[in-house]
Structure 1
Amino acid sequence: MAPPLEDSLLAAEEARRLAMLAADMAALDTLLSDALAYTHSTGVIDSKASYLQLLAGGALRYEALEFVAPQARLVGTAGLVSAVMRATVRKGEVRRDIASSYLAVWEHTASGWVLQAVQATALPAQTS
């Protein structure tokens, strides 16, 4: 019995997380739409080409990456995943901890799920 589409969508999102963490260009090339719009929590927007270039060249590196409590919802052929992202990234010599809420928009195609867009919003800094 095939898993429900929500399960396969969450599996695609986990594959994306692992590929980002490993800077796996081949996996990301398959998962990301050529028309990708990736809006980071800083407001910077990357296309598929510019995002992959950052990762491939080492200008952006995920040292730690966690998607907390991802939830999937289907709307026609679209799949929406919302979660909190906690990451430690290195951009050049600058190391930064990130906490953001995000929405990922996936399209279900004949070959599987393809990421079309990500919109991230920075979470307020935690105070102790």
Structure 2
Amino acid sequence: MTTATTANEDSQDSPAAAGIRAAEEARWQAMLDGKLTMLAELLSDTLAYTHSTGLQDSKQSYLHKLSSGALRYESLEFVAPVFRVLGPVALVSAVMKATVQRGGSRREVASSYLAVWENTPAGWKLQAVQATPLAATA
């Protein structure tokens, strides 16, 4: 994983900026390590996750794909992440490069994504992800 930069309305050293950075980095690590209990704690019960393929998942369906082995992340790299804290909401944008196992096939994925987080009494919760595939480079 890459080191992230933060751009937000708050100071880069603010508790909110540090909190969203920690939450997103914990999500990345949980995805890679298959730590589904940790991942479940970070996801909102109303999660809307749109993959770069256009497929959509809820919290339950996404966790089921991971727990059943239908989806597994072999490698993850996040390039140039930007964190924007806007009151109780945070936006995280980055390029994700990954090697995934999906449906028994290994594939390379490169996408640009936007993640929407909400700061709740229980901490930061991921509300939505929208990923867009990147064109292959020669």
- Please tell me the TM-score bracket, short chain as reference: over 0.9
In structure 2, the residue matched to 1:116 is 127
Runs of 4+, deviation exceeding 3 Å: none
Count residues with an aligned counterpart. Answer: 126
Distance 1:122 1:109 in 2: 30
Map of 1:15 onto structure 2: 26
Gaps of 5+ in 1: none
Q: Which residue of 1 aligns with 2:100?
A: 89
Map 1:1-128; keep pairs closer than 5 Å.
3-127=14-138
The one-letter amino acid of 2:41's match is T
1:116, 1:102 → 2: CA distance? 13
Q: CA deviation at 1:3?
A: 4.7
SS at match of 2:136: coil
For 1:88 and 1:67, the matched residues in 2 are separated by 12
Specify every segment of 5 or more residues in structure 2 that has no aligned partner in the other structure, as ranges: 1-12
Contact 1:65–1:85 (CA under 8 A) maintained in structure 2: yes
Q: How far 1:4 moved relative to its partner?
A: 2.8
The CA distance in 2 between the partners of 1:28 and 1:72, in whole Å, is 19
Aligned Cα root-mean-square deviation (Å): 1.1
AA in 1 matched with 2:26: A
- Scaled by the length of structure 1, the TM-score of the pair is 0.94
For the Cα contact (< 8 Å) 1:10–1:70, is it kept in 2? no
Q: Would the aligned equivalents of 1:84 and 1:99 in 2 still touch at CA under 8 Å?
A: yes
Taking only the aligned residue pairs, the percentage that are identical comes to 61
Measured in 2, the distance between the counterparts of 1:44 and 1:8 equals: 29
